[in-house]
Each structure stands twice: as structure tokens, then as C-alpha cells.
Structure 1
Amino acid sequence: MVKLLHATVTLQTALVFVQSITAGLMMALPHGHVLHSAGSYTLWFVTVAHVVVAVLAWRRSGGSPEPVWSAAGFLALITAQVFLGVYHVTALHVPLAAALLVASLLYLVRIRRLAAAPATAATAAATR
């Protein structure tokens, strides 16, 4: 389940990055806003999936609920981001986008370590 959480966070981070590209295309192309809009809703649905996967991973492992809180917080921020974009509040939309990209990258690094930890423990146990 940790690998699925890792995959979901990886996809989410990639989509946040792609959104920065489509934001630039929105300014350069006549219909670039369609790509940016489609990407924002796709990112929102992937973030909902991230919450579901985080809950399932937590319930199965019985560990810390911290990934659930992180996913829920990210969902709240992505939802705010969508509304800020819809209402053209660029003074908040752009800085929040940058913060979301950094937060998603940091969380991805953290999840990668979590996903690698069981493999490292299994390797260490096998060599004894």
C-alpha cells in the first residue's frame, strides 16, 4: 500500500509541475486556458485519490495518521487554488501554486524514504 501511496504522490507532484507549464501556455496560446483548466481538475481528482490511498495505507498499517493529514491539507489547498483560479485572484493563486509545488516535492521525498524503508529492513533481515 505504501508503493501505491508513493505512486499517487509522484503523479500529484508531476501534475503540479505540469500546471506551471500550462500556466505559461495559457499566456502564450489563445486556448491555453483550456489546458490549464483541465489540468487543475485532473490534479484535484488525483489529490482526492491521494486522500483515499493515504487513509487505506494508514488503516492497513495501523501506523501514524500523518499521511492522511498531509493529504487532506493538500486537498484543502488544491481546492482553494482551484477557486482562486476560477475567480482570477492571481495575487494569491500564483504564490500558492509555487508553495504547492515545493510542498509536494518535499512530501514526495518523504514518501520515497517511507517506501524504501521496508525494502531496506527486508534486505537487512535477509542478510542475517
Structure 2
Amino acid sequence: MATQSTARPANLKLLHATVALQAAAVFVQSITAGLMMTVPYGHVLHSAGSYTLWVVTVVHVVVAVLAWRPGGGPAQPIWYAVGFLALITAQVYIGVFHLTALHVPLAAALLVASVLYLLRIRR
């Protein structure tokens, strides 16, 4: 049976891995957005990537809660995860309705935010 001191680093490592996966998924979305403009099947890749990113973000929320409550970690990552989930959900809907003037700047902001948060949480 793991003690709380050994469970906490494991939960935080899982949180770090989830944030890294989320940042990578956001980056891949920028690539598939470019593919959407150049190849006939690009929209399929971008759509699949958006739903994948949404699922990864839901997992991030769950992992943040697990790192906080049973793991004894800080609660701050939960707020980031929930905020990011809200923005990703808005991004999916904005993309579905083809509101490019909002979709592209929000995508850039999400990419910068995810990389900055990844750097911050790794410290």
C-alpha cells in the first residue's frame, strides 16, 4: 500500500504527462489546420484531432482532481484544467460553425497557454 508521500509524486508525474500530451495535441492541431487547407482529407484529420484534444482535456481535469484530492497536491491545476476544457469546448463549437475570425486567434492563444503552463508545471 502506497503512502501519501509516494502517491503524491506519482499523481503529479501523471499530471505532468497529461499536460504534456495536451500541449502536444494542441500543437498537432495547428499542423492539421494547415493540412486542412492543402489536402482533401485535411478537415477529417483536424476534426478527429479536435475531439481527441477534447478527450485529453477531460482526462486532464480528472487527473488534476486526483492529484489534488487523494494525492495531496495543490488545487490550482484543477482551475487551469477546467478553464482549458471550457475554452476547448468553445473552440470546437466555433470551429463547427466556421467562425474562423474567432477560431484562429483562440487556437493561437490555446497553444501559447498550453506551452506556458507545461513549462510552469514542470518546475
User: Who wins on radius of gyration, i.e. which is larger?
Assistant: 1
Specify which structure has the higher proportion of helix.
1
Aligned to 1:43: 53
Q: Which amino acid letter does the alignment assign opposite residue 117 of structure 2?
A: Y
Unpaired runs of 5+ in structure 2? Answer: 1-10
Scaled by the length of structure 2, the TM-score of the pair is 0.90
Aligned to 2:69: 59
What SS does the aligned partner of 2:98 have? Answer: coil
Aligned to 2:78: 68
CA RMSD of aligned residues (A): 0.8
- Which aligned runs of 4 or more in structure 1 are off by greater than 4 angstroms? none
| Structure-2 separation of matches of 1:64 and 1:22 | 34
Alpha-carbon offset, residue 110 of structure 1: 1.2
Q: Which amino acid letter does the alignment assign opposite residue 108 of structure 1?
A: L
In the alignment, is the contact (CA less than 8 A) between 2:12 and 2:73 conserved in 1? no
Aligned length: 113
Aligned to 1:15: 25
Alpha-carbon offset, residue 19 of structure 1: 0.2
Scaled by the length of structure 1, the TM-score of the pair is 0.86
Aligned to 2:91: 81
What SS does the aligned partner of 1:60 have? Answer: coil
| Seq. identity, % | 79
